[in-house]
Structure 1
Amino acid sequence: MAAGTERPRAPAPPRWLRWLPFGYLAVVLAIEPVTPVDWPVSFLLIALPLAAAYAYGPVAVAAFTVCAIVFEGVLAGTPCCAGRPVGYLWDRHYVANYMCTTLVGILGTILAVHRIRRERTLATVRSVAETAQRVLLRPVPRRLGQVSVETLYLSAAAEARIGGDLYEAVPTAYGVRLLVGDVRGKGLVAVETAAAVLGAFREAAHDEPDLAGVAHRMERSMSRHAAQLPGGEAAERFVTAVFAEIPDDDPVVRIVNCGHPPPVLIHAGRVTELHATSPSPPINLALLAGNGYQVDVRSFRPGDQLLLYTDGVTETRDPDGAFYPLAERVGPWAGLPPRELLDQLHEDLLDYSGGRLDDDIAALAAYRLPDEAGT
């Protein structure tokens, strides 16, 4: 690790887990005096070091081990406790109990060391993933000319926090150009492909005067990238995507849909799914599915809002297995600005799925500002 770089901290254990060994000790001490002499409940203190190992470090686990042995000795050596006529401090069963507690304490200390190392490793992995996400999905400016843009990214894997879903918004001489895409596959392979796609789009968006030309450029770039992959991976590496272009001087939006879920247009309180008149093939499948990219032109006036998203949204299921009805759910939020719209979508997806998302989600909301706000 580079000098001056702070090492990521391991996440703190839940509060109830930190109180667990204290509660366990209190319960054992409470029931020991009221149990018959034939039931030496103090033997349960053997497990105290393990209870501590789930939330504390090795030094604290060693301290809990010593505490457990001391209490075992106190309870064994106290005459007339629970009707005992004499103490059992050095009875062979209790001596064996001390030895077992010591052994479990050593194991608990080792467990605590291992747990802390794993937690620090996980914290480092999360930190690297978050950094990679910030580089890959860099923050999009909230204001691009006469367009207000907001984004949302949710990873189904909390440990990774990054996946193959992607978005981008680029101001160009031809207007604001938007991209939302979904790479086939998961893990680092999908992240690598997403990086290649975003890099190609950021270049092509400025160079190509036509939106279909951007898609063609992406196809060529993706084909070169896939050709470097071993074996049959090239044919399996493709990206569904939707490109949108919002010109500054024309109240329209141009869309190229490459095998992706249809964008949603919010106009005057009405929600419309913009299905492609002639769907275009996913990126890197043009040779198999046809080589044409169809540009659809839709009205997009001041006050209108466009929602682009990945299939993780519409494939979210409720406990009964029903898919998320996006157009129906978005209707009541038609008047919300982009940030509030995406925040509401986020909360509603979690509520609909019972708090469990099975796929990564990326969404982008673009709102054409009224003329007076734009000037």
Structure 2
Amino acid sequence: MRAPSAGRTAVRRWCLRRLQLLPLLLLAGGALLDYRTSPHFSAEAFYTAAPMTAAALLSLRATILAGLGACAIDFTLLTHFGFIGDSGGRSELAAVATVSAFAVVVNRLMYYSDVRLQSAREIALAVQHAVLPQPPASIGPLRIAVRYRSAVKGAQIGGDLYSVQDTPYGVRCLVGDVRGKGMGAVKVVDVALGVFREAAEEEPTLVGVTARLERALVREAERRAGPERTEGFVTGVLAEIPLSGDGLRLVNRGHPAPLLLHGGVVRSAEPSEPTLPLALAELGPDGDRTDTVPFPPGTTLLLYTDGLTEARNHAGVFYDPGVRLTGHDFSGPDALLDALLTDVSRHTGGRITDDMALLAVTRGRS
């Protein structure tokens, strides 16, 4: 896997800078064409296109200057060819002036639209930080990194969730995926994370934490109407990592199996028994099972939601993180997640159809 290309960003910036010269080129090209062709030919289209292009690409000042420049050039050439006194010449100049004034209005509308969009993004980011706070970069010998990608462009939070809690029983992690979308899913995320943070501090076992989550999510589902009452559920995997020792404990409730990476080798931590998602325990056998798996120093635990494994390329082939990560070694959890997101984007051509939450924990040496 390769890091994102800095050259690609430089090319985009170069193209944008060149594109910003377009209003000037339209004015210069229109003036030259108007002057060198028949007096009855008009380059009015060039003069009106210049301020409108400036409105989309440049500042208010540049838009005004482009409009004034268009009017000045059109007036000069109409005077040169002796058309400024007739109705056709005045009509043309009025059209150029009107479009130039309208370009200023368009520029302001675009500016205030951008301001509102930026404000909405900042609010969404504040909500994300409140509901999904950034975990500490390290706890004891553990290094931690998270990433969240929403399928909705501009959105910062959806139905996926993660949490990392330093508790008397070790570092406890949760990654989950709420069925459904929208504010209803965000509310369930808030409930699940609130219960997990409290239970993780109080319950001596992962099974106890899971039971608290189950009860809370069942109560939340009972408050809803329609299909959400019976079909609302959360897939999730809970991990408990003691700060000493070489193992970790997992409880998986219908969620994609975590991956363990060490020295280019990737292992899938499949649950010993299949289980139903949270809020559906009454439909299956009683009790949760805790699986213990090796987690020696230098190993990274990768927890993720199905937005990763259901990412498809143009041929409809799903992304397989186990295969794609095999043979690669990473300096830490941040490097792993950055490379993973870059590879997923390359696989899908940049199209994300489902939210994606990623949590990586690397055990260093005590």
Correspondent of 2:304 among 309, 331, 337: 309
> Following TM superposition, by how much is the alpha carbon of 1:68 offset from its aligned partner in structure 2, in angstroms?
1.7
Secondary structure of the structure 1 residue equivalent to 2:21: helix
Question: Conserved in 2, the CA contact under 8 Å of 1:125 and 1:160?
Answer: no
Match status 1:340 vs 2:335: yes
Counterparts of 1:155 and 1:188, CA distance in 2: 14
Counterparts of 1:348 and 1:136, CA distance in 2: 27
Match status 1:247 vs 2:266: no
Correspondent of 1:134 among 129, 135, 139: 129
> Following TM superposition, by how much is the alpha carbon of 1:52 offset from its aligned partner in structure 2, in angstroms?
2.4
Give the aligned partner of residue 188 of structure 1: 183
Question: Conserved in 2, the CA contact under 8 Å of 1:281 and 1:293?
Answer: no
Question: Conserved in 1, the CA contact under 8 Å of 2:312 and 2:319?
Answer: yes
Give the aligned partner of residue 51 of structure 2: 49
Structure 1: runs of 5 or more not aligned? 1-13, 80-86
Match status 1:25 vs 2:27: yes
Secondary structure of the structure 1 residue equivalent to 2:47: helix
Counterparts of 1:232 and 1:43, CA distance in 2: 57
Question: Conserved in 2, the CA contact under 8 Å of 1:271 and 1:334?
Answer: no
Secondary structure of the structure 1 residue equivalent to 2:173: strand
Indicate the larger mover: 19-28 or 210-219: 19-28
CA-to-aligned-CA distance 1:220-276 (integer Å, 9 cap, x gap): 111222333344433333211111111234422111111111101124542111111
Question: Conserved in 2, the CA contact under 8 Å of 1:226 and 1:237?
Answer: yes
Give the aligned partner of residue 105 of structure 1: 100
Counterparts of 2:314 and 2:180, CA distance in 1: 25
Correspondent of 1:179 among 166, 174, 177: 174
CA-to-aligned-CA distance 1:275-303 (integer Å, 9 cap, x gap): 11212211222233454322212122222
Secondary structure of the structure 1 residue equivalent to 2:327: helix
Give the aligned partner of residue 117 of structure 2: 122
Correspondent of 1:65 among 64, 67, 91: 67
Give the aligned partner of residue 221 of structure 2: 226
Question: Conserved in 2, the CA contact under 8 Å of 1:149 and 1:338?
Answer: yes
Secondary structure of the structure 1 residue equivalent to 2:164: strand
Match status 1:282 vs 2:277: yes
Counterparts of 2:130 and 2:153, CA distance in 1: 18
Correspondent of 1:266 among 261, 273, 285: 261
Counterparts of 2:18 and 2:150, CA distance in 1: 27
Counterparts of 1:48 and 1:323, CA distance in 2: 46
Match status 1:164 vs 2:164: no
Give the aligned partner of residue 84 of structure 1: none
Secondary structure of the structure 2 residue equivalent to 1:248: coil
> Following TM superposition, by how much is the alpha carbon of 1:91 offset from its aligned partner in structure 2, in angstroms?
2.4
Paired residue type of 1:342: L
Counterparts of 1:201 and 1:185, CA distance in 2: 20
- Percent identical residues: 36
Secondary structure of the structure 1 residue equivalent to 2:224: coil
TM norm structure 2: 0.88
Counterparts of 2:287 and 2:321, CA distance in 1: 29
Paired residue type of 2:354: D
Q: Return closer, same or farther for 1:33/1:291 CA change in 2, 3 Å cut-off.
A: farther
Question: Conserved in 1, the CA contact under 8 Å of 2:44 and 2:96?
Answer: no
Give the aligned partner of residue 39 of structure 1: 41
Correspondent of 1:217 among 212, 216, 226: 212
Q: CA RMSD in A?
A: 2.3
Q: Return closer, same or farther for 1:165/1:104 CA change in 2, 3 Å cut-off.
A: same
Counterparts of 2:46 and 2:89, CA distance in 1: 12
Counterparts of 1:110 and 1:232, CA distance in 2: 47
Counterparts of 1:358 and 1:252, CA distance in 2: 35
Structure 2: runs of 5 or more not aligned? 1-15
CA-to-aligned-CA distance 1:63-114 (integer Å, 9 cap, x gap): 43332222111111114xxxxxxx2122221111122223323432332232
Give the aligned partner of residue 298 of structure 1: 293
Give the aligned partner of residue 148 of structure 1: 143
Secondary structure of the structure 2 residue equivalent to 1:332: coil
Secondary structure of the structure 2 residue equivalent to 1:345: helix
Counterparts of 1:127 and 1:238, CA distance in 2: 29
Secondary structure of the structure 2 residue equivalent to 1:189: helix
Question: Conserved in 2, the CA contact under 8 Å of 1:164 and 1:182?
Answer: yes
Secondary structure of the structure 1 residue equivalent to 2:251: strand
> Following TM superposition, by how much is the alpha carbon of 1:17 offset from its aligned partner in structure 2, in angstroms?
5.3
Counterparts of 1:19 and 1:346, CA distance in 2: 35
Q: Return closer, same or farther for 1:43/1:280 CA change in 2, 3 Å cut-off.
A: closer
Give the aligned partner of residue 78 of structure 1: 80
Question: Conserved in 2, the CA contact under 8 Å of 1:182 and 1:310?
Answer: yes
> Following TM superposition, by how much is the alpha carbon of 1:49 offset from its aligned partner in structure 2, in angstroms?
2.9
Counterparts of 1:151 and 1:166, CA distance in 2: 11
TM norm structure 1: 0.86
Q: Return closer, same or farther for 1:43/1:118 CA change in 2, 3 Å cut-off.
A: closer
Secondary structure of the structure 2 residue equivalent to 1:30: helix
Question: Conserved in 1, the CA contact under 8 Å of 2:264 and 2:325?
Answer: no
